[in-house]
Structure 1
Amino acid sequence: MINIFTKQIHLVFNSREKDRITKPILDHPPNKLYYFTAYIRDTGQKDQNLSYLEQNIELLKNKLPQLEIIQKEVDYANYIEVIQEISKIIKDEREENPNCEIYINVGSGSKLTGIASVEAAKLWDCDIYYVYSTDYNPSGEGPEHKGEMILIEPLTFPLKKPKELYIKILKLIDKLIQERYKGKDYNEKKKKFIYKKDLVEQLYKEKVLTLQNKNKDERKLKASKYMNSKKYLNRLNSELNYINVSDHKRNKKIYLTKEGKEVLQIFRYHF
């Protein structure tokens, strides 16, 4: 249940709704509200329900003059962007106050913002709530939900996050790829890569990985680094599918996969 004694942050997504958005906020006043509006980048469409945004914000400001409201625009059709925006808010708020409680309304917005919100809540240990009503009429005029508003807090199951170490390795791979191609003419049809030998060296140079015992013999030290890093790179390649490692016997190449790039975007503001 919502705790009234700790700093609360609410996140909502604009839609053709009034009470479904405002009632939980009025009943459980937060300290800060992030209010998202829609923008579909691929089609250039703007939020069609800005009149509801204006009415809802006017009501909230009248009823809760102390409430800090921050409006943000997000692509309602871009899962990665939605979860990334939520992740950034969570990171910033918890850096400011580690004990703050964050609640996300998963009933407003689009189906995709709802999915992304649930996933973000699992990843970052937030709370979600869903509001429905006794009078639902999506084809009628005015708000889709009228009548009595009913708030529930759905049970969710934990989502297993990638270990922090794997995210750090991915970030290093991405950084090295960017550095390798910086200022160079590049054929976009070809995938960008780094050499495995360069990555392994940087993993230890930047202390992402460490060795318990450092051999004084350079060849043996190099072999130890390769053996120690192998289990992590193999998992990123074979199990998680975040990278691809080429089949070359020498000078193996490492590429970021589509999944790896998406994970980097999701965890851009964390770890």
Structure 2
Amino acid sequence: TKLIWVETPTNPMMNIIDIEAVSRISKKHQLLLAVDNTFATPYLQQPIDLGADIVMHSATKYLGGHSDVVMGSLVVNDETLAKRLYFIQNASGAVPGPQDCFLVLRGIKTLHVRMQRHCENGKAVAHALKSNPNVDKVYWPGFEDHPNHDVAKKQMKDYGGMVSFSTKAGTLESAVKVVENLKVFTLGESLGGVESLAGHPASMTHASIPKEDREKTGVVDSLIRLSVGIEDIEDLIEDLRQAFA
């Protein structure tokens, strides 16, 4: 079986794929379309309704929401496909424990209220960064000048809590200084928890990619990725301000 795998929007540049358009292509060529919907969550986006065959979630992130579980899920609405995936799961032993399941079920109960706050805070942080003279570019799909804004507006309920930006200085040292000075944001590679996290892709998530290849996709040395949590927004904005100061 041939498969098209789409991650939306799971990279530091917040690129968003038009799921309906890719679905038309996949069906034309009799391909399965799988979408990683971790960043958007079912609250903001429903890929199966947009034509996807398989939807993946890292339940460790927003679904769990509290950074205390390791789990993933595949969601389908086709019984035959579900049985094929279950056979693989059963054969490989990828079965979560009862405590992990409990933690994710607990997290799902508050998913809607958490995502609302993530979106509100993400918007406020994105606008604060855009007006900061020490910031060069801000990547957040809610901005009308974002290259994928129209796609996000069409297929998402809101724009999520992930924000990336590059420093005006444009150097690795300037980005490292900012993340080292943060007090409320914690330096970490994960995302989707109630706490705010900051990551430096060039030295963390994308460190194994050659610099030339990284920069072709916009992942420059001065890029910082934020997973904006649900803390008081004034605390988050003040933390970013003092980190630059």
> Which one has the bigger strand percentage?
1
TM-score, scaled relative to structure 2: 0.28
Taking structure 1 as the reference length, what is the TM-score of the superposition?
0.26
Return the index of the structure with the highest Cα Rg.
Answer: 1
